[in-house]
Amino acid sequence: MVKWIIGASAVLLAAALITKKPDKEPEKKVTPKKEIPKEEQKYDFTTPGLSQHVTFGRNRGGEIAAVVLNKPEEDYHKVIVNHKGRFENFPGIIQGKWTDYIEGEFDFDIGEIRYRTDFERCGNGYRCLWEIQPDGSYWADDDGFGMENDSEIILYADLDENGNFTTPFRIYKIDGRRVEK
């Protein structure tokens, strides 16, 4: 019986040593998540392709309607229109006689979107159609009061498949007539 008690005690002691928890938990390695800058938190990084194909700079709620090119399979995201309603890496504008049609002041250097801007597929990339001045009916109320004689002016620029501008903006249409060459 003594052998049995000694044998059982050894088994219990071995089991206690095996299951004994360490005095201190080992530190777990935590990989911090990539912090998204505050100004980018409103961007849509989930929609494959372009996050949207039309922007007015600001949406109806007054928030900036940014445009992002997403390639989730490559973990690639390129902001084309930023949270300030401006083109990222603005390529500039080729000016010409069409500038005579601009009413009021226009800043050629900042690339700010104020009116409709469309993005469409073009070859392997995209084409951006940027309305810099709406026609005069844009200003009219339901009764037609307030209409101006402004000419609608639309510029265009091309982007590659990664959302990089490959051309500066140039004239596309004036008053619905295509001028692009």
Give 31's pLDDT tier (boundaries 50, 70, 90): very low
Q: Please indicate, yes or no, if residue 22 is contained in any of the structural domains.
A: no
Answering whether pTM is above 0.85, one says: no
Q: Which of 12-26, 71-85, 159-173 has the highest mean pLDDT?
A: 159-173
Give 114's pLDDT tier (boundaries 50, 70, 90): confident
137-156: average pLDDT:
74
The SS3 assignment for 74 reads helix
Q: Please indicate, yes or no, if residue 154 is contained in any of the structural domains.
A: yes
Q: Please indicate, yes or no, if residue 161 is contained in any of the structural domains.
A: yes
Q: Please indicate, yes or no, if residue 5 is contained in any of the structural domains.
A: no
Mean pLDDT of all residues belonging to the chain:
78
Give 116's pLDDT tier (boundaries 50, 70, 90): confident
Q: Please indicate, yes or no, if residue 11 is contained in any of the structural domains.
A: no
Q: Please indicate, yes or no, if residue 12 is contained in any of the structural domains.
A: no
Q: Which helix (H) or strand (E) holds 84?
A: none
Domain region containing 42: 28-178
Q: Which tokens is 166 given?
A: 């490959």
Number of H helices, E strands in the chain: 1, 9
Work out how many domains the chain is built from and give that number: 1
Scan for tokens 């004994």, then name that residue: 20
Give 30's pLDDT tier (boundaries 50, 70, 90): very low
